[in-house]
Amino acid sequence: MLQRQVCKKFIFIFIFLITALVFISDSAMSSTGWNLALNGRVLGDVPIKEQGRLTMVSIGTMVRLLQLDLEQKEDTLLIYYKNNKLQLVHKATAVWLNVQLLPTASAPVLENGHWWLDSRSAMKILQSLYQAAGDKSTLSWMGASDIPVVIEELQPLQEEIKPAIQQPVQQPTCELKSLRWGRYEEKIRVVFDYLGVAEPKAKEVDTSVSIVFSGSSLSQNDLSSPYPQDVSVKMNTLNGKYIVSLHSVQGGKMNIFTLPNPTRLVVDIFPEKQKEILEITAPGGNIPESQNVSVPQRVAVPPQKKSKKPLIVVDPGHGGKDPGAVSNGLREKNLNLQFSKLLAESIKKRGFDVRLTRSTDIYLKLRERTELANNWEADMFISIHANALPKGRHATGTEIYIMALPTDKDAMQLALIENRELTGDNGSESSAQVDKKTKMLLNILGNMQQNAKISDSTDVAEYLFKAGKNNRLNMRRVAQAPFFVLRGASMPAVLIETGFITERSEAKKLASTSFQRQFAEAIAQGVEAYFNGGR
């Protein structure tokens, strides 16, 4: 009898515990979000979901709670506040704030009508939007939106978020690791390799430049100049900062910029006196005529100062073993060369210096094209291509691209197609591997050196587009996509898709010499307008 009573009590307790656990579990599951606050005032509930180690939030809900303007165009989300714009692209690990790119910890994802982004990145980009508009309001998370049990469960995550939003952020580091020197035909190049999330600050005064780092393990001997008759170096410390100063003994201008992968700051010094003859890559655009040569040759040239005229480098896309798009009896590589030669001729008539990356049917790797432009110290880079669409799809018109986040799905697809030329570099990479590289390139777009050129490249694209319109060309749009051929250009760079080779009527027009000349004249007018009115 006693055993039965004990058994009944045990069963009752067991059922009670199971019921309590189910109740708690159901209550916990009922919470679907965090409270978003503006200046400490809770605005409402934002849906969340876990994705690995990240907590993803509905950024669309955040925008609606903040009463910002919102617009969705296919795979792109646009957020507006006081004439400032944020642009998110599905699965692109950076966002566009006006003309600046902001890297994110994860890619925004569009699922079932919701745009999801990790909580830190969502907070960072929206706070940046407010700052861009001159609004000093503060955004923050104020805990979960449901019962206390859930708040306790979310507390560890909340503690991770608070320091990034509310507490003072430690000063970012920028530690100098090494110093490298190089001498070229007209300049001396000094490369500062550094580690850290911040960029070194550089201040130029006359013929000297001072660069500030947060620290360094280098000594004065490590910094000694191999060309003391041209460049002197000094090192000082001030308030815990490490300052390296370069002085051009011979006078002349300096060019200072940063480069990624690895992060480094570059100072080009142009002494006024002439230097000895050195080898440079493919000077004067004299690329060998032989089709068997796959890369530009290195030849010696007499020293010469760069012309005061702006130098425009025109790049005929594809070539040699890479025909580009083939349709309607035409090969893209041939069309690109025809358009480029006429464009170079039209630009030269307007008093500019012009060079072609290739003047014959030879193959150049994508990276070699901008390397040539950089070596020639070009002021503008224009890559000429012809567009293509898969069977069943139709479009006409000229498109102008800058290297940035893709404007839409079509822009991304075009970049994937153009970048597959990389498979020809050594034959070892598949299209899938190259596609992965293209998507990884989206991460690179957040670096400062590229940001500095995005605004200039956008201006160039707009001038060319307007000139095309004025000359009654069918100008389709200005857009953005991650093209490898534009990566690394140290000058404003655009890629022009002259028209759709897959469209029968347009292919016939592209092959017409009269249209090619009309096109060349229009783009040349845009180049001239940019340098005369855009600077």
| H-helix or E-strand spanning residue 322 | none
| 140 lies in the same domain as 99 | yes
Residue 23 lies in a domain: no
The answer to whether residue 148 sits within a structural domain is yes
CA angle, 255 then 260 then 263, to 5°: 85
Domain boundary among 165, 192, 210: 165
Q: Domain with 413 in it: what CATH number?
A: 3.40.630.40
Residues 414, 345 share a domain:
yes
DSSP β-bridge partners for residue 475: 398
Q: What is the DSSP letter of 274?
A: -
CA distance 497 to 477: 10
Tell me how crowded residue 26 is: count the other CB atoms within 10 A of its CB.
9
Q: Are residues 125 and 209 in the same domain?
A: no
Checking phi first, is residue 50 left (phi over 0); if not, alpha (psi -120 to 50) or beta?
Answer: beta
Same domain, 469 and 326: yes
* Amino acid identity at 269: I
The verdict on 458 and 370 lying in the same domain is yes
- 275 domain-assigned: no
Q: Is residue 491 part of a domain?
A: yes
Question: Does 439 reside within a domain?
Answer: yes
359 contacts: CB under 8 Å, gap ≥ 6: 285, 287, 337, 341
CB 116 within 8 A of CB 50: no
- Rounded to 5 degrees, φ, ψ at 169 are -90, 135
pLDDT score recorded for residue 441: 47
DSSP per-residue letters across 418-429? HHGGGGGTTS--
Residue 274 lies in a domain: no
Q: Which amino acid is at 5?
A: Q
Pair (413, 472) in one structural domain: yes
Same domain, 446 and 362: yes
Query: Do 228 and 332 have their domain in common?
Result: no
Query: Shortest CA distance to 384 belongs to which of 488, 470, 312?
Result: 312
Helix (H, G, I), strand (E, B) or coil at 78: strand
Q: How far is CA 327 from CA 330, 354, 498, in A?
A: 5, 30, 15
- Give residue 415's pLDDT: 55
Give the domain-ending residue among 215, 244, 269. Answer: 269
Placement of tokens 């567009």 in the chain = 387
pLDDT at 417: 58
What is the domain extent for residue 85?
Answer: 30-165
CATH number of the domain encompassing residue 62: 3.30.457.10
In a domain, 292, yes or no: no
| CATH code, 215 | 2.60.40.3470
Instruction: Scan for tokens 């050129």, then name that residue.
Output: 453
- The distance from CA 144 to its chain's CA centroid, rounded to whole angstroms, is 36
- Are residue 503 and residue 461 in the same domain, yes or no? yes
Whether residues 215 and 234 share a domain: the answer is: yes
Q: How far apart (Å, rounded) are the C-alpha atoms in residues 347 and 329?
A: 29
Q: Let me know whether 254 and 124 are in one domain.
A: no
* Total domains in the fold of the chain: 3
Q: Which of residues 165, 186, 214 is at a domain's end?
A: 165
313's CB contacts (< 8 A; 6+ apart) are: 354, 355, 356, 357, 372, 373, 376, 378, 380, 381, 382
Residues 141 and 188 in one domain: no
Give every residue of the chain whose pLDDT is below 50, as ranges. Answer: 18-31, 145-170, 274-305, 406-407, 422-429, 434, 438, 440-441, 443-451, 534-535
